[in-house]
Amino acid sequence: MAATVDMKKIRNIGISAHIDSGKTTLSERILFYTNKIHAIHEVKGKDGVGAVMDSMDLEREKGITIQSAATYCEWKGFNVNLIDTPGHVDFTVEVERSLRVLDGAVLVLCSVAGVQSQSITVDRQMKRYKVPRICFINKMDRAGANPFRGRQMLIDKLSHNAHFITYPIGAEDRFQGVVDLVQMKAFYFDGENGEKVREEEVPADILDECKKFREELIAAVGEFDETVGMKYLEGQDVTIPELREAIRKATLSLEFTPVMMGSAYKNKGVQLLLDAVTYYLPNPTERENIALDQNNNEAKVVLQSDVSKPLVALAFKLDDGRYGQLTYMRIYQGTVKKGDTIFNNVNDKKVKVPRIVQMHSSEMHDVEEATAGSICAFFGVDCASGDTFGDGKAKLTMTSMFVPNAVISLAIAPKDKAGQTNFSKALNKFTKEDPTFRVHRDEESAQTIISGMGELHLEIYCERIKREFNCEVVVGKPQVAFRETITQQAKFNYTHKKQSGGKGQFGRVAGFIEPLPSDAAVNYEFVDDIVGGVIPRNFIPACDKGFQEAIKEGRLIGFPIVGVRVTINDGAYHDVDSDELSFRTAAIMGFREAYEKAGAVVLEPMMKLETQAPEEFQGSVMGQINQRRGMILNSGTNEGYAIIEAEVPLTEMFGYSTDLRSATQGKGEFTMEFLKYSAVPRNVQEEMVKKFQEKKAKG
């Protein structure tokens, strides 16, 4: 990207939505209309080519997006960096990392289903990173398409101040085009691929409706713009530039969502969406990005999208390809040229940038330099996801993104010894690329354990090890990440004493443990209430370390303990025999003593489940959920489909997809995401504790 690019003409946007809302199809059309590709391929295309943005074979086979794909294009003089993100909850970190570096987003809804469970998650992520968005109601050609209900769901379910800026001409198989309510003109999309945009007068039969919605739009954005607000109150006409400016202000305030509609599959309405991206979404200078100054107690620094300022670039995604590691970078400030030496501000390593490319899905276009506001990729820069780079003039780091905890684990091993090297390479590559994919070795069973966000998440990685690294793997049964916690306060007073001739060991600790509030941000808290030097200050950290060690493994079923506050308020030491080890041991044993009396319970991950199936199967679907200890929260119908929302324990959900398909003649679908941890029923806990004791007795 040339250094002469006007910052106001850059848009960094993401497309995100619930699975199967048509994000990748929409991205494909955007690339076609901006002349980046010259033919359109469908996600589950008959031609066997698949969408450009789904570059992995697995993505093409399953017809889903697994990795966020980055590309760039030009539209009417604007440079648009576009990231198509996955909709499946198991790949939620791909959405997190993309929204972390984007300035604006397009939230895609299906015109039939409206706001679905994953739309709610994506919306929460957009709010977390303060990303302004436009909503595009897609699939207007489908039977049951209803954009008015979609908009109402945005208001009711997501609390958006949502207003139409376009209005549909027809729906379902009679969907012809859209009216732009800003210009009050009708637009039709002719030609084989909808590439010829035809402008007409608004059809007479919908003119009154369009006027009503335009009036509503002006009233809504008048709250954010004085000129438009005054004109509305005085009954004067608002000009097109004035209305556009007001919609832009309202959208950037994060308190307003413009709503558009169309059909990406039928090539209708996409060009108007591109126009709206340039009119209403922010350029890099309009977003506030904060970095922390490591040389000044992590003081907050507001970054300027200025090419002459010290470099600040965030590595937000890694991809180990056949040419080595490719590091995706968002440049927030400054400029970086090919051949420059840059510094990793997290570990102080310096690296030379041998090659800078702009990505077009899996193709690469070489560039000489990258400037503030751009998204590019570097070759030969080894780092971890979330590292910040600078040019050595200032040591600034960006705050890292939110990474959810893993909820499911599998034991995994290469099928034969010869595959061990490739197996290790694969795991190294995936842990670098994906912060939610974790690997550890279980010392007791000497197994390699992989953990992730769900069954599909781990299944995809096992498949990738086989394909990309030519290594067959053997997979154990899925393990759920249980936790233990306490429900009441309990005291401890433990003395650790060891005399065996010569120097002994001595340390006494006393205090209590209690549950942390349920909304606490941490899982463990240590409170030092020691007065009068009964435990010398230099031994206090050893006590803390001992407690931290004790919570690694609970006494009920051997899983980590969470939600505990430990307070020490008394103790004793010996001038000669006391040392750090004595107090660490005393803390571990003291914690265990209190834990027995603290009403310990086992916690299990609860999932939010949304199941859709034809109405005639509603009874059997609900029956299945009840059998799996599920609690039904909500059920409704939409266009002949029953939609059931429930809370279910993850333990009970293995094999659910097979059961659901057989109960609904293959027509049922579901999405599931982690919701919270909650206590398992007493009878289930007793069974689990018994099994754990038996296993220990054998071991």
Of 166-175, 414-423, 504-513, 554-563, the range with the lowest mean pLDDT is 414-423
In this prediction, residue 38 carries a pLDDT of 61
Could you tell me if 390 and 311 are in contact, meaning their C-beta atoms sit under 8 angstroms apart?
yes
Does position 208 have pLDDT exceeding 90, yes or no? yes
Does position 298 have pLDDT exceeding 90, yes or no? no
Write the CB contacts of 225 (distance below 8 Å, at least 6 apart in sequence): 242, 245, 246, 249, 250
What are 452-469's pLDDT values in tens digits? 877 778 888 898 888 888
In this prediction, residue 91 carries a pLDDT of 59
Residue with tokens 């799996």: 628
- DSSP character at residue 617: G
What are 537-547's pLDDT values in tens digits? 999 999 999 99
Strand 350-352 and strand 104-110: the pairing is unpaired
What are 74-118's pLDDT values in tens digits? 899 898 888 766 555 455 666 676 677 889 999 999 898 888 877
Could you tell me if 582 and 590 are in contact, meaning their C-beta atoms sit under 8 angstroms apart?
no
User: Position 630: which residue type?
Assistant: G
Dump the DSSP string for 146-200. -HHHHHHHHHHHH---EEESEEEES-GGG--EEEETTTTEEEEEESTTS-EEEEE
Helix, strand, coil distribution of the chain in percent, nearest 5: 30, 35, 35
Dump the DSSP string for 275-322. HHHHHHSPPGGGS--EEEETTTTTEEEE----TTSPPEEEEEEEEEET
Identify the residue with better confidence: 50 or 148.
148
Distance separating alpha carbons of residues 230 and 219, to the nearest angstrom: 10
Does position 123 have pLDDT exceeding 80, yes or no? yes
The 10 Å Cβ neighbour count of residue 6 is 11
Distances (CA, A) of 655 to 597, 652, 675: 38, 9, 20
Distances (CA, A) of 56 to 15, 51, 68, 246, 362: 19, 10, 11, 42, 9
Could you tell me if 117 and 20 are in contact, meaning their C-beta atoms sit under 8 angstroms apart?
no
Strand 104-110 and strand 133-138: the pairing is parallel
What are 38-64's pLDDT values in tens digits? 655 554 443 333 444 444 455 445 444
Could you tell me if 52 and 59 are in contact, meaning their C-beta atoms sit under 8 angstroms apart?
no
